[in-house]
Amino acid sequence: GGAGMAAVREVEIDPEGTFKYILVRLQRPGGGEQRDIVRGTKAAEFHNHIFEKVNPEMEKLGYECKCLGGGKIDHNSKDKKIRVFGLSTGYGKADHSVTVEILKKVYTDYEITWSDDKK
């Protein structure tokens, strides 16, 4: 596959609202190439629902997935602000600072912040 990891979008989150998110590490079996991606949606009641959707998609492309943790994202598209906070009971807390760096690549004109607040 010539497209490789570039074919995988780094960020897929809902355009508005507050929802759960996970940080996922993609890796080629046997090491080598790896990449961290952010996935979040209101449709997911629990963090593992997001992972259960992402995992098979990525396995089809030949990647192993590991969830690095989760939290919540508050996406305010009107004010161009994103806040990353909270944690996942099942996966633990993602490194929100890493999540913010990934989000900044996509939402270049946003103000993006994180905290360890639960709410």
Q: Is the pLDDT of residue 29 over 90?
A: no
Give mean pLDDT, residues 34-45.
Answer: 96
Domain enclosing residue 110, as ranges: 11-115
Chain segment 52-99, per-residue pLDDT in tens: 999 999 999 899 999 999 999 999 999 999 999 999 999 999 999 999
Query: Which DSSP string do the residues of 15-83 spell out, in sequence order?
Result: SSEEEEEEEEEEE-TTSS-EEEEEEEETT-SSHHHHHHHHHHHHHHTT-EEEEEEEEEEEEETTTTEEE
**Residue 1 is assigned to a structural domain of this protein:** no
Please report, for the domain that includes residue 71, its CATH number. Answer: 3.50.20.20
Active-site residue list: 47
Residue 5 counted as domain residue: no
Work out how many domains the chain is built from and give that number.
1
95 domain-assigned: yes
Assigned domain for 106 exists: yes
Whether 45 shows a pLDDT value over 60: the answer reads: yes
Predicted pLDDT of residue 5: 62
End-to-end CA distance of the chain: 42
Query: How many angstroms separate the CA atoms of 32 and 108, rounded?
Result: 28
Q: Does the annotation list 20 as a binding residue?
A: yes
47 in any annotated domain: yes
